[in-house]
Amino acid sequence: MSRQTGRGTETKKVSAELFTLTYGALVAQLIKDYESDEEVNKQLDKMGYNIGVRLIEDFLARSSVGRCHDFRETADVIAKVGFKMFLGITPTVANWSPAGDEFSLVLDNNPLTEFVELPDGHQNLNYSNLLSGVLRGALEMVQMEVDVTFLQDALKGDNTTEIRLKFIRRLEDALPAGEE
């Protein structure tokens, strides 16, 4: 997990392995605590959401990204700035829906799953489901309601990991004054 800070020369980097292993420990514990994979997915999503609503402020404070007025712009920022800043990777944006309200983030190498082999009987577990919560929470704070799902997961034998983002609506009433 690396990131560039906006504090001039001062950069803070954290070992990606430390982050990956901590996340692994978290998921392993959740599997022990809850009976079904669906419940674990739900918990990861919830945790991610709580991280996302805070993380967005860190992102905005350290990048000079302005407000997005188009979902394509949002996709670009998430892939090229957001993922780069917090995970050190740049996913590919692909599979746009004709209406331009849905796209996929394709992760060739997901840092979260670097050392992971999914044990048998966990076919329903979305190991990296925290990410979907983070995306949902962060976008909600900038007044975009989105739906995030995992379409493919490299851990389950797919070629890549694919996260699908669907734009639902603009949260107009939450729009701060002076922001169109």
180 binds another protein (CB under 8 A): yes
8 contributes a contact to another protein by CB under 8 A: no
CB contact at 8 A, 89 and 107: yes
CB of residue 113 vs another protein: minimum separation in angstroms?
25
CB of 178 to another protein, least distance (A): 4
Closest distance to another protein from the beta carbon of 5 (Å): 8
Range in contact with another protein (rule: CB under 8 A) among 62-70, 87-95, 108-116, 148-156: 62-70
Give the separation between CA 107 and CA 86, rounded to whole angstroms.
14
Strand partners, 94: 104
Angle between helix 129-141 and 37-62 (nearest 10): 40
Check residue 61 for interaction with another protein (CB under 8 A): yes
Tell me, residue by residue from 65 to 84, as one string, x for binding to another protein by CB under 8 A and - for no binding.
Answer: -xx-----------------
* Per-residue contact flags (x/-) with another protein for residues 135 to 174, judged by CB under 8 A: ------xx-------------------------------x
- Separation between Cα atoms, residue 163 and residue 44, nearest integer Å: 15
Which of 39, 57, 73, 114 touches another protein (CB under 8 A)? Answer: 57
Q: Are 47 and 53 in contact (CB under 8 A)?
A: no
* Residue 62 binds to another protein (criterion: CB under 8 A): yes
Footprint of another protein (CB under 8 A): 6-7, 53-58, 60-62, 66-67, 141-142, 174, 176-180
